[in-house]
Amino acid sequence: MRRSALLLCLSLLPAAGAVKTNQLAYQKVSALAQARVTPVSLQASGVAPEAVTIPNEYLYERDLRVRAYSLDAFLKARIPDIEALARQGAIVKFLCIDGYAPTARLSDVLGQGGLIAVADADAPAGVVWPDAPYKNTVLGAGNIGNYLVWRAASFPAKPQPWGLDTVYILPANANLSK
């Protein structure tokens, strides 16, 4: 009898994944704004992609020339009041396809040279991103996808996620507990 009661209690506890999913769902609802990062939304930002060399790029650990869109231009095109939200202390959350979701103060991100990289500018035809070694695995182009990089290497504390799917703007008082 005790064992079955314990199993029942354990089955009622949320799994760690469910907790994270619930937190993300809550933040989606409480978001002040959001912008999906797709080829169409990037083109609709009204700014053409540019080829930019990222010195000692984080993932590839070498100078890397990328084809990229300005993060500021993308956010301003998708979220017209983005600068006012930054002044109000809003937080930016970068949700990635693998569930990784780094955050930063929006005011620390705007105007700092953020780029949404969409491809290796020097990759051979038909290759978007070359494979990249990461920890104990190798990331393929499908895992890298849209990738947030910074023009200057002087911003190592800024988020540099790959697989970028959606940018959420959250209120300054958003609960970001993990």
Higher per-residue pLDDT: 86 or 140: 86
The mean pLDDT value for 105-133 works out to: 92
CA angle 54, 110, 115 (to 5 degrees): 30
Q: Across the beta sheet with 147-150, what order do the strands follow?
A: 50-54, 64-70, 114-120, 147-150
Higher per-residue pLDDT: 24 or 95: 95
- Which stretches of 12-163 are assigned E, i.e. beta strand? 33-36, 50-54, 64-70, 91-96, 103-105, 114-120, 132-134, 137-139, 147-150
**Of the listed ranges 63-77, 114-128, 149-163, the one predicted with least confidence:** 149-163
Q: Is the pLDDT of residue 70 over 60?
A: yes
pTM: 0.79
Q: Is the pLDDT of residue 18 over 50?
A: no
Q: What is the pLDDT of residue 3?
A: 39
Q: What is the pLDDT of residue 117?
A: 94
Query: What's the chain's average pLDDT?
Result: 81
Q: Is the pLDDT of residue 12 over 90?
A: no
Q: What is the pLDDT of residue 7?
A: 35
Q: What is the pLDDT of residue 153?
A: 62
**Percentage of the chain surpassing pLDDT 70?**
78
Q: How many helices (H) and strands (E) does the chain have?
A: 7, 10
